[in-house]
Chain A
Amino acid sequence: MLRAVLAALVCYVLALAPNPLLAQTSLQSLLQTQKDEVLKPSRASVGAVLDTLVASNLPGVQDFLEKWQERQVVLNTEDGLFYFATGAQGDTLLLQDIDSGASLQAPKSALTDSRPNGGVRKEIAGALVRFQLSGPDIEKRRAAVEAIARAPSADVVGLLQASAQAEPDPALKAQKQRLAQILVARFAPDSAARIAAITGFSGALSLDIRAMLNQILETRPGVAPARPNANIAEILQPGSDALPIAAAYEQLVAADLAPPMISPAQIKETLAQNISAGAVAGIPLAQLAQPDRRIAAYQALVAQGKAAPLVGPEDMTKALNAHVFYLAYIEPDRAITDAARATLQDIETAVAFNKGADLALDALSLASIYFLAAIGLAITFGVMGVINMAHGEFIMIGAYTGYVVQQFVPDYTLSLIVALPLAFAVTFGAGVAMERLVIRWLYHRPLETLLATFGISIALQQLAKNIFGTQARPLTSPAWLDGAWVINDVVQISYIRIAIFVLALLFLGLILVVLKRTRLGLEVRAVTQNPGMAASMGINPDRINMLTFGLGSGIAGIAGVAIGLYAKVTSEIGSDYIVQSFMTVVVGGVGNVWGTLAGAGMIGSLQKGIEWLNPSNTLAAQTYMILFIILFIQFRPKGIVALKGRAAGD
C-alpha cells in the first residue's frame, strides 16, 4: 500500500514538474525511476509514465514506445535493467540495450516481460501519435491523424499545426489542416480563434464537423427557482413535447427541489406492509380494489405517520410553476455557441439539400429496377391483354441463369457478358413455350390466364427450390462494379445501381427502336390496336403474340440478372418484385412504353419518398404506397398514359 502511494506520488511529481536533471540522463535511468509502472502498467497510471517519457525529449523515446506497445520490452532481473527482446535462441533471448543498441543475450529464466494490456497499449499509441505525425512513413502519419481524429484532445493542436506546415503530401496536408481547424474550434483557449474556425466550416458536409459542432452545442438540462446566469440554450415549458410533466417533476425531485412522487405501485406496497386483521387503517381489504379507497387508506396511514405524504396534482403544478426548466450549453461562452449554432444551421441546410439529391438518385435507381422488371410485363399485357403471373419466375430464371453461368465461367466480367444474352435466350424460350402450350388456348378468358400462369408460377418456384435449395445463391458482380461513386459525404450511389440505370436506359431505347422502327414493331402495334384488322392485312397474330411474349419474357430474364447482382438469388426473388411490377404497369397505363416509364418513376420515387418520411419502417412505406396506388386508380383508371380512341379497346 505504502509503496503504491509512494510510486503514485513520485509519478505525480514527475509528471507535474519534469526534473531538469532527468532530462539529461539516459532513457534507461529514466525508466529505472519508474520500474514498477513500466513492468506492470495499468491503464489508469500509465499516463503519468508516458508524460514523463515524452517530456524528457530523449531521442530513443519513440523507439521505446513502439517496442513497448509491441510487447518487446523485458526486464533482466539479474542486472535490473530494461532491454528490447529481438529474438529467441533456444533457452536464451537475444536482447538489445535500450540506449546504446548493443546486442547481448540472457537466459529466459532471468527475464520478466512487460505486458501492457489492450487499454495500456491504446494509451501508448496515443502518446506515440506526436512522434508519428511528422515521421518519415506516410502510412504511419495517416494512422496518426486518424488516431487524433478518433480521440481529439487539446494538447496536440500545436503539434498538428506544426506538422501540417511541414507535410509534403498535399492530401494529407489538407487533412491535417482540417483536423487542426476542428481541434482549434473545440479546444483553442482564444475565443476569437475558435469562432473564426467554427465559421470557417460553414457549408461543410462531413460528419466529423457536424459531430464537432454538436459537441460544442451539447446541453444539459437544469432546473432552478429563477433563471440562472448560464449560457442557456432554451427555456422549457413543463407539459410541452420536449418536457412532459412527469419528466419535469422527476427533474425537480432529482434536484432535491420537491418531495418524490408516490407511484401507485409504491402505494400498493405500503398498503401491503400495513395489513392488520384483514384491513388497512380500518378499511377492509376487499374495498382496496377501488382506486379512491386505496388513496383513502394511504392518507389514513400518512395521518398515522406510517407513510410519506402523497404528492397531489395541485402540489405538482405548484412546484412546477415555481421553477424554471432550461437547457444550458456546457460551453459557457455565448459567442461561441451562437457561432456554432449558426454554422450548424448552414450545414443542416446544405445537408438537407444534398439529402434531397441523394434521395432523388435512390428513387431513380429504384425506378430503373422497377422499369426493367415491369417492361416485359407491360409489353405482354399491352399487346395480348394477358397478365402473366409467372413473370416474376422468369426474373428468377434469369437470376439463376446468371448464377449457373458463374459456376462455369469464373471470370466475373466475362460471365456477366455471357449471362445477359443467355438469360435472355433461356427466358425467351420459356416464354415462347408457355405461350404455345398454355396461353394461346386462353386468349378469350383473361381471368383464367391469370390463374393458369399462377399455376406455372408456383410450379416453377417449387422447381427452383428443389433444384437450387432454399438458401440464397450469390451472383457476384465484377470487381469494377463494387463500391460506390461518392460525390460528397451525403450523396453517393453504388456502381451496380448506376449499371442498372444504364441497362434500363439501354432497354428503353432498344424497345422504342424495335416498336417504332422495325417491321416487327409495326406488326406488334397493329395487333395491339386491332387484332382482327391486323390479321386481315396479312399479319399473322399468332406469330406476333408468340414473339411478343418471348420478348417480354426475355427482358424479364435480363432484369433477373440485374436484380440478382445486388440482391441474393432465391426462389422468391421474382415474387418480391411481381406486385410492384403489376402496380407499375397498372399505374403507368397499359400498352405503352412511356407509360411504364412514368409508372416506374412514380412508384420508385413514391416508395423512396415515403421511406424518407418514415425511415424506420419500410413495411409501412410499402403499405402506404399500395394504398396510394389504389386511390390513384380511382382518378386515372387507365393509368398515367392512357391509350385513346379505338386503340383503347373497351
Chain B
Amino acid sequence: MPSLSTQTSGAGRKTFLAQHPSVMWFLLALALFTLGVTVLAEATGAGLISTSFVKTLGKTLCLCLVAIAMDVVWGYCGILSLGHMAFFGIGGYAIGMWLMYARTEIIVRDSLLAAPIPPTPQEITDGIGTQIFGVVGSAEFPLIWAFADSFALQLLMVILVPGLLALVFGWLAFRSRVTGVYLSILTQAMTLALSLYLFQNDSGLRGNNGLSGLQNIPGFETVSQDAISIGFFWASAVALGLGYVLFAFVVSGKMGSVVRGIRDNEARVRFLGYHVESYKLFVFTLTAIVAAIAGALYYPQAGIINPAEIAPIASIYLAVWVAIGGRGRLYGAVIGAAFVSLVSSWFTGGGAPDVELGIYTIKWTDWWLVLLGLSFVAVTLFFPQGIGGLFDRLVRNPTPDAEGQK
C-alpha cells in the first residue's frame, strides 16, 4: 500500500473504514447475511432453514474466521503454517472441558441429591471424574482440568494455551531462522505431535473418545437447540466481523507494510533495520489466538471434538481453502473457506447427483476428494490469486508483487 504514508501525513486524516472500503462492504454483507438467516431460522423467523443447517452456517462462519487468520499468517506474512487448525482444536478443547465439566456436574449433583444424605464437595468431584474419565478407565482429574470448573478461567485458557504454545514455538522457530518449507514441515510436526499426544488415553483428555455432548450448554437446559443454534450463529458472525476488522487493521498501516515486506523479501526487511522475528512472532501468535477463539465457537456447535480434528490434514485443508479463496486478501479467505467447506459438505453429503458414464458411474462421495485435489493443483497453477482474484479484476487493476508477477 504505497499511498499510505502520504495519506496519513496529509492534511485530512481519513478514518480507518474510509481508507478500507472493502472492510465496510464485508461488514455490510455479513450483516445482511446474518439478518437473512435470522429471518429464515426456526427459532427467530419463518422456519425455512432447519436448525442443523443454521448450525452448519454458524460453523462455516467460524471456519471463515480461522481462514482469515491463516490468510494473515500465510498470505500476508508468508509463513505457511500447517498448525493453525491445531490452535483451533486447542480452543475447542479448552471450552469443551468447561462445557463437559459443568454439564456433568449438574447431572452428578442431581443424582447425588436424590440420595438421603446430601453430598460433600469431594463426592461431587469424584462423581464427575468417574463420569468423564470412566471411558478411559480412570476417575482422577488430571492437572490440566484444574480450572475446568470455572467458565472465566477456562475462557482464559482458550486464549492463553494456544497463545503461549504459538509464542514458544514461534520464538524457537523464528529465532533459529527456520523459514519456508522447513517451517511448514516443523509446524506440521508440531501438529502431529499434539494430535498423537491427545490420542493417548492418559493424556487426560479422554484419548480418541474426545470430548462430547458439547452442544448442551450448562445453564440453558430449558432453551431449545433451535434458539441455541441461532445464538451461536450470531456469536460466530460477531466474532468474524470483529476478527475481520482486527486483521484489516493489522495488515494495513506501517505494520502491514513491514509484514508484507517480510513475505516478499525477508532479508531486505531485516537489512532495513526491522526486527523481523518480532513481527513474525506477533502475527503468528495473534493469528493462533484468533484461530483458538474460532475453535471455541465452532465446537459447541459441532457437539464433539476428538484428536482426529487436530491431525495435520486439517491444517492442510485450511491452507487449501485460503489458496482457493485467494491469498493476500481477507475476503478471499472468507470466500474460500465458505465455498470449499459448503461445496465439500454438498458433495460428500450425497447432495451432488451421480454422473453416468455408460460403463461407470461417478459417485461424488468417492470422487470428491480426487476433484478437490486436482482443482487445487489447477488453482495453484493457473489461478494463484484464487476466487478473490476475480473480484480484484472487477474492482481495480492488479498491482504487481515484489517479483513482478501479477
Contact = CB atoms under 8 A, between A and B. Distances in A.
Interface of A: 264, 268, 271-272, 275, 280, 285-286, 288-291, 294, 385, 387, 438, 441-442, 444-448, 450-452, 454-463, 465-466, 579, 582-583, 586, 617, 619-620, 622-623, 626-627, 629-631, 633-635, 637, 650
Interface string B206-226: 000000000000000000000
Given A447-B181, A451-B376, A626 B80 contact: no
Interface string B358-372: 000000001111101
B9 interface: no
Nearest to B187: A630
A455 B197 contact: no
A619 B189 contact: no
Contacts of A466: 366-367, 370
15 contacts: A275-B116, A285-B118, A288-B118, A444-B403, A448-B323, A462-B367, A463-B370, A465-B366, A579-B189, A579-B192, A619-B196, A622-B192, A623-B193, A623-B196, A630-B173
Main secondary structure of the interface of A (DSSP, over half): helix
B188 A438 contact: no
Interface in B244-262: none
Contact of A452 (B115, B186, B189, B376): B376
A620 B373 contact: no
A170 B373 CA distance: 66
Leading 3 A-B pairs by shortest Cβ distance: A459-B373, A455-B376, A462-B369
A583 B189 CA distance: 8
Residue among B121, B172, B380 with max Cβ neighbours from chain A (10 Å): B380
Given A285-B118, A291-B122, A454 B376 contact: yes
Given A633-B176, A634-B172, A442 B381 contact: yes
Given A264-B123, A438-B381, 5 more contacts: A289-B121, A455-B374, A455-B376, A462-B370, A630-B190
Nearest to B371: A459
Contacts of B372: 455, 458-459
B189 A271 contact: no
Nearest to A297: B117
B158 interface: no
Contact of A387 (B121, B185, B190, B267): B185
A277 to B, nearest CB: 13
Contact of B380 (A444, A452, A460, A582): A452
A454 B320 CA distance: 9
B404 to A, nearest CB: 11
A272 B115 CA distance: 9
B296 to A, nearest CB: 24
Nearest to A269: B117
Nearest to A454: B316
Nearest to B367: A466
A387 B181 contact: yes
A622 B374 CA distance: 32
A280 B366 CA distance: 67
B200 interface: yes
Contacts of A441: 381
A280 B173 CA distance: 64
B384 interface: yes
B182 interface: yes
Contact of A272 (B117, B184, B199): B117
Contacts of A633: 173, 176, 178, 182, 186
B303 interface: no
B3 interface: no
Given A454-B316, A579-B312, A619-B199, A630 B370 contact: no
B122 A446 contact: no
Interface string B53-95: 0000000000000000000000000101000000000000000
A460 B372 CA distance: 11
A633 B183 CA distance: 10
A582 B186 CA distance: 9
B20 interface: no
B5 interface: no
Contact of A622 (B121, B196, B202): B196
B377 A582 contact: no
Nearest to A390: B373
B190 A289 contact: no
Given A288-B117, A458-B373, A579-B188, A446 B181 contact: yes
Contact of A637 (B119, B176, B190, B367): B176
B117 A619 contact: no
A630 B189 contact: yes
Given A272-B115, A456-B377, A291 B120 contact: yes
Contact of B197 (A264, A268, A452, A619): A619
B14 interface: no
Given A286-B118, A586-B185, A630-B189, A447 B180 contact: yes
B319 interface: yes
A444 B180 CA distance: 12
B177 interface: yes
A401 B366 CA distance: 22
B200 A630 contact: no
B116 A272 contact: yes
A452 B176 CA distance: 27
Contacts of A623: 193, 196-197, 200
A268 B319 contact: no
Contacts of B312: 579
Contacts of A622: 192-193, 196
B181 A455 contact: no
Contacts of B367: 462, 466
A285 B116 contact: yes
Nearest to B322: A451
Contacts of A459: 369-370, 372-374, 377
Contacts of A272: 115-117
Given A289-B119, A454-B316, A620 B197 contact: yes
Contacts of B119: 289
A448 B403 CA distance: 15
A268 B267 CA distance: 71
A364 B184 CA distance: 28
Contacts of A463: 370
Nearest to B199: A619
Nearest to A628: B193
A627 B369 contact: no
A132 B197 CA distance: 56
A381 to B, nearest CB: 8
Nearest to A627: B193
Nearest to B366: A466
A1 B78 CA distance: 93
Nearest to A389: B316
B197 A442 contact: no
A116 to B, nearest CB: 42
B117 A457 contact: no
A531 to B, nearest CB: 17
A634 B200 CA distance: 27
Contact of A582 (B80, B117, B188, B193): B188
Nearest to A625: B193
Contacts of A586: 182, 185-186
B362 to A, nearest CB: 10
A13 to B, nearest CB: 55
Given A462-B370, A620-B200, A455 B193 contact: no
Contact of B373 (A462, A627, A637): A462
Given A620-B200, A637-B177, A456 B373 contact: yes
A111 B78 CA distance: 92
B343 to A, nearest CB: 15
Contacts of A619: 196-197, 199-200
A624 B55 CA distance: 37
Nearest to B384: A448
B185 A582 contact: yes
A445 B381 CA distance: 10
Interface in B284-311: none
B380 A626 contact: no
A634 B169 CA distance: 11
